[in-house]
Amino acid sequence: MSKRNEIKAAELHEKCIEAVLKGRYRDVEQLIKLCPADEREGLKEAIEGAKFMLLNYTGILARPSLVKRASERIGELKRRQELIEAAEARARKELIQEPIGEDEIMSLLQRILCIQSIQSRPSVNKLGSKTMYRNRNETIAPSKGYDKLEIDLAIKQAEIHAHNLWLNFGAPKPPINPKEIAKFLGLVVMEYTTSDCDGCIRMEGDVGGILLNAGISNEARKRFTLAHEIAHFELHRDRFSSVQESLSHMENSTAIEEIAANAFASELLMPEEYINSSFSRHEPTFALIESLANDYQVSITAAARRIVKLSNFACALICYMGGKATWFERSEDFPYFLSLKDSPPRYSGAAALLAGEKPSDRAVISQAIWWAPEDRKAEIAELYEHSRVIFDGCILTLLFMKDLQLDQ
């Protein structure tokens, strides 16, 4: 919560008390609406306390249920804060030998959070792989995993949940600090050097601990990992008790829980309303992607996926790792069914990069049929392609159409 929001809430509190004393309850309702979202519940409780004192002073008792509910809420928040403070104190006192092995991470979080070993709920990584949702028009047989509608629903629910959390936190402007949000939710966040693990979370009820790999040098990658673990706490803590994963697992997992957690993290760090107002109306380019990545302090990959998904242009994004396609993202208007072959098309910019050629600084015309060989609509169409090496072994290919009616 920002200091500015606290000051504004305090000013509104004084005005509300004055309105209560004068019996102007409609004014109180309007003042509450002006209060920052993250301070609103506290303001309401303060107003109810003022009403209670006023009514008792005049000899009329307030509703006991109202007083009880406010007291329980205050007590609940106080108990959770005490648990978090105690866990943070234990983390400071714990002698940690780094790097921490993968098999030691959960026991460390368990000790710090003082929670018992949980046998009734599994780790998400033991739930089994599900069919990856790669194309909005593709029919996925239920026997292979979750169908398209189930995954669409999970993504939408995750995005709505993240948006509501952002609003309740005061709708901060980017770059959004996931550590402050984690603290707001009652999560202990620690950083230690680990091997083959970017992030993990241990959860029990309303308390959780997140461990981030201190060896991650890319701060944007660390921020997205934290937002991803927050997603598991918000979406899945009633289903399983722990998650332990690498960046590769987060990006390429076909489990519906991981797809939902990525959608949650993207919405939390890059709220749709900001993207729509500042980025979605512009032609998708790597310059635009880099601008988003810098402004919002996210990785190029995360920024590229977000722009493509929300773009008003017909566009798509393909990721190649080690010369093989691993996933793609596309906008609602992109009309072609992309075929994820092992390697990029022979005459494409991505293939040139793979062969060690110098990257182009602009988009080049490409044949749609190269990327969608099974789609008849692509036979005589052209796309613009711009490929970029993101890091060693990883190539992102951006495909887009300047004419949205090209296929008609």
Q: How many Cβ atoms from other residues are within 10 Å of residue 296's Cβ? A: 23
Among 15, 36, 62, the domain-final residue is: 62
Q: Please check whether residues 261 and 145 belong to one and the same domain.
A: yes
Q: Tell me the mean pLDDT in the region 87-94.
A: 85
Total number of domains constituting the chain: 3
Average pLDDT (381-387) is 94
* Same domain, residue pair 289 and 265: no
CA distance 363 to 385: 5
Q: What's the pLDDT at 108?
A: 87
More confident residue, 49 or 261: 261
123 within some domain = yes
Mapping DSSP to helix (H, G, I), strand (E, B) and coil, where does residue 79 land? helix
Does residue 71 belong to any structural domain of this protein?
Answer: no
Range of the domain at 294: 283-400
CATH number for 287: 3.30.450
Last residue of some domain: 245, 269, 293? 269
In this structure, the answer to whether residues 345 and 369 fall within a common structural domain is: yes
Between 111 and 4, name the one with better pLDDT: 111
Side-chain half-sphere exposure of 54, counting CA atoms within 13 A: 13
What is the reported pTM? Answer: 0.74
Q: Are residues 288 and 331 in the same domain?
A: yes
175 inside domain: yes
Q: Using CA atoms, how far apart are residues 28 and 19, in angstroms rounded to an integer?
A: 6
Do 172 and 210 sit in the same domain of this protein?
A: yes
In a domain, 90, yes or no: no
* 250 and 309 share one domain: no
Q: Is 263 in the same domain as 293? A: no
pLDDT digits (tens, 9 = 90+) for 117-172: 554 455 555 443 332 222 323 333 333 456 778 888 999 999 999 999 999 888 99
Distance CA 25, CA 19 (A): 7
At which of 231, 246, 269 does a domain end? 269
Residues 306 and 350 in one domain: yes
